[in-house]
Structure 1
């Protein structure tokens, strides 16, 4: 599968040509975005953080890509480690942020692992078949495709919830407590968050944070931590016929 690469640095291009199977290079954000519009959603994209001296070019480009392609696997590379906070705070869903270290073996190893992970994520997304599900919406209900739901959050100060799908954001009138009963793949991890466990990539018990395959990182409250550990240790959702996919956990 090709890697779409945004960089204007000749040295970087030479390195990627030697190490990657099918790199496709673009010198400007506009050229990259135009190319991505001509191919199907769900591409692996490597973005240099700085283009022509503009240190936020990669981040701005990522935001534009994400608006059109919820499945894109975005990898940021940079010589400036201070940008990592800005990139993940932007909630674009970066798969990884890799510091360029004169193209050392450490950099190459991490980049190749990120690309492999990106391709695995895309296979998981494509393999999920539509599963119609009804979520409460006031006195009625609303039909969603479970395989497109990544997580659900509260709309603070209201009696509504936001349903974060792969390609859109929907608002329903419901309580968070009522959502987990709608399907075994919907798992509440916090008073304000319910996740689709099929999109769960990693749970770090030390920091009480889950990472979804899309790159989103969400908090886990102590109230739900034990149940989540049990769900990962004993995949009951899978036993009941859901589409739970492989996850990793740093819990002992």
Structure 2
């Protein structure tokens, strides 16, 4: 999931930008959403505790307690992996961003040769492309096709897979949602070294496991949800967790 944040001090321009992005995401059925649109910088300084990718569209010339560049500096310090797009009427301000080392993804010129909508769509595509190309260890993402929608999900967001009622389908469980895909248990297990098959019908993300009750044959996940495990699956999962803990200790 890509969460999009907007900061523009002109209410009408903010509404227009929000509508452009929302319409494009809906038409293309992208795994993105505008989660916050503000005329002031303060709401964007509150970083949520999740693993979503974040894309910011910031007006440089904010008439507020800080400029868009200063806001970007605060955001970059808190979220090194985010993408930042500046919106401005002054192309020369692009040089100013170098001094603050905020590494913007793109600049959108309000009075540029291309329409703002064209530039916004290009920035959305570029952000998606950059995240697809970047695959850091244990924090890469998987691409799932659900109907006409393509979803990009970080491995760390996935709790577990389980076989669905419909044949040849799995249910992908996240912390606050779930969706179905056409895939086998073996295919799911092969997609990441953090996935472990603890039961005939379940593959868990062992990074999300809090406890394994071998007697009750239950696995407790980070959300508190419990899923079944087989006797052998439980033993193997405990061994996997012990190995991971030892590696962290040695490191």
Normalising by the smaller structure, the TM-score range is 0.3 to 0.5
* Structure of higher CA gyration radius: 2
TM-score by length of 1: 0.45
TM-score by length of 2: 0.45
